[in-house]
């Protein structure tokens, strides 16, 4: 094609279908039932998430943008990279702030966007290409949780993991993941730029995940629509209520879907029939919130050293730069 970038597919064509089926089989036969949050993001789910980022209650996106607007030049100066690798890049909306700063620092040659969604990668590339004509743009369709080893291994790299998505991992998986990134950066060296939402009052946290307009409820139910379309399931989507809970011991938000009545759901794509009793809850996401010292400690345990930490003016959100 005449495009400057094609999508590099590290995923075999049936990878997504297979991992969806494996996740659904495991999650819906466990007790309590769970589904991983990555299955929210089909075309509609990605559009709903974009709407969430503009809701008055959902501050993390704006807070992270503020941190980048204020401090991206400092981050770039502290870690002048040749290659920026962004994990879970999605729409890449905040990426230009980092690209500008790294370009001004004089080092940047290449941007590698990593996402499971082809359409998000293509949209992002089309947005970025005209603004950064001197940059090599690469789009990698991969599952960043399991395919870190396929990412660029040479040159000085900065891995950006923004948006607070690290909060979707449970603590053990999080530790494994951070260690995996540190190992990826072995050799020519580099840094991890990590965005994390911070612990704060549940009066602020809970509405961010239970907005008045019901956009998050619709986003949450979207995982059932994905199962209906991908697995031929027959979830009655509106028979599930959206639940957002602050778990004070774990310091994370849980999103759940609560069955309003007893239901038997058929999922021909995985050869299962699944029963819900009235009031039964299916956990669809955890979104962990962090403390500044906790983030630093976890990164150090993974072998990083901290190069800097920055927060927005209201101390709601932190970005940490860690050297491998």
Q: Which residues of the shown chain bind ligand AVJ in the complex (CB under 6 A)?
A: 52, 60, 163-165, 167-168, 209, 216, 285, 287
Query: How far is it, in rounded angstroms, from Cα 76 to Cα 159?
Result: 12
Instruction: Give the CA angle between residues 69, 192, 61 to the nearest 5°.
Output: 40
- Shortest distance, CB of residue 238 to ligand AVJ, whole angstroms? 19
- For ligand AVJ, the nearest residue by Cβ is 287
- Shortest distance, CB of residue 209 to ligand AVJ, whole angstroms? 5
Q: Select 48 or 267, whichever has its Cβ closest to ligand AVJ.
A: 48
Long-range CB contact pairs, 67-71, < 8 A, 24+: 67/195, 67/310, 67/311, 67/312, 67/317, 67/318, 67/319, 68/94, 68/97, 68/98, 68/319, 69/97, 70/310, 70/312, 71/310, 71/319
- Shortest distance, CB of residue 234 to ligand AVJ, whole angstroms? 25
Q: Select 8 or 206, whichever has its Cβ closest to ligand AVJ.
A: 206
Q: Select 160 or 267, whichever has its Cβ closest to ligand AVJ.
A: 160
- Shortest distance, CB of residue 220 to ligand AVJ, whole angstroms? 7
Q: Select 79 or 165, whichever has its Cβ closest to ligand AVJ.
A: 165
- Shortest distance, CB of residue 217 to ligand AVJ, whole angstroms? 10
Where would I find the beta strands (DSSP E) of 110-169?
A: 110-115, 136-141, 157-161
The candidate with the shortest Cα–Cα distance to 174, out of 259, 87, 95, 288, is 288
Query: How far is it, in rounded angstroms, from Cα 104 to Cα 19?
Result: 40
Q: Select 52 or 142, whichever has its Cβ closest to ligand AVJ.
A: 52
- Shortest distance, CB of residue 162 to ligand AVJ, whole angstroms? 9
Q: Select 20 or 324, whichever has its Cβ closest to ligand AVJ.
A: 20
Residue 30 parent element (H or E)? none
Query: How far is it, in rounded angstroms, from Cα 35 to Cα 85?
Result: 27
């Amino acid at each position: 094609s005449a495009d400057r970038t094609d999508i590099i597919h590290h995923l075999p064509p049936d990878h997504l279908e297979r991992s969806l089926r494996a996740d659904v089989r495991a999650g819906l036969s466990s007790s309590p039932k769970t589904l991983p949050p990555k299955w929210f993001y089909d075309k509609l789910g990605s559009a709903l998430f974009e709407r969430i980022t503009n809701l008055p209650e959902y501050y993390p996106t704006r807070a992270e943008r503020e941190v980048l607007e204020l401090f991206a030049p400092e981050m770039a100066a502290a870690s002048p990279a040749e290659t920026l690798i962004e994990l879970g890049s999605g729409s890449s909306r905040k990426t230009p702030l980092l690209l500008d700063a790294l370009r001004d620092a004089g080092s940047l040659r290449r941007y590698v966007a990593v996402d499971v969604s082809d359409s998000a990668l293509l949209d992002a590339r089309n947005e970025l290409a005209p603004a950064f004509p001197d940059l090599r743009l690469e789009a990698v369709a991969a599952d960043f949780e399991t395919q870190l080893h396929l990412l660029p291994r040479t040159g000085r790299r900065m891995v950006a993991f923004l948006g607070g998505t690290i909060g979707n991992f449970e603590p053990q998986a999080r530790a494994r993941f951070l260690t995996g990134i540190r190992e990826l950066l072995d050799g020519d060296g580099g840094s991890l730029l990590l965005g994390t939402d911070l612990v704060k009052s549940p009066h602020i946290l809970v509405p961010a995940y239970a907005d008045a307009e019901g956009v998050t409820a619709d986003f949450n139910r979207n995982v059932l629509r994905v199962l209906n379309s991908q697995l031929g399931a027959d979830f009655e989507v509106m028979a599930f209520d959206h639940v957002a809970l602050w778990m004070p011991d774990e310091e994370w938000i849980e999103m759940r879907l609560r069955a309003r009545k007893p239901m038997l759901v058929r999922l021909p794509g995985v050869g299962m029939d699944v029963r819900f009793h009235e009031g039964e809850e299916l956990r669809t996401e955890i979104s962990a919130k962090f403390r500044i010292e906790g983030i630093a400690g976890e990164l150090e345990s993974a072998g990083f050293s901290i190069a800097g930490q920055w927060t927005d003016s209201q101390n709601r959100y932190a970005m940490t730069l860690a050297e491998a």
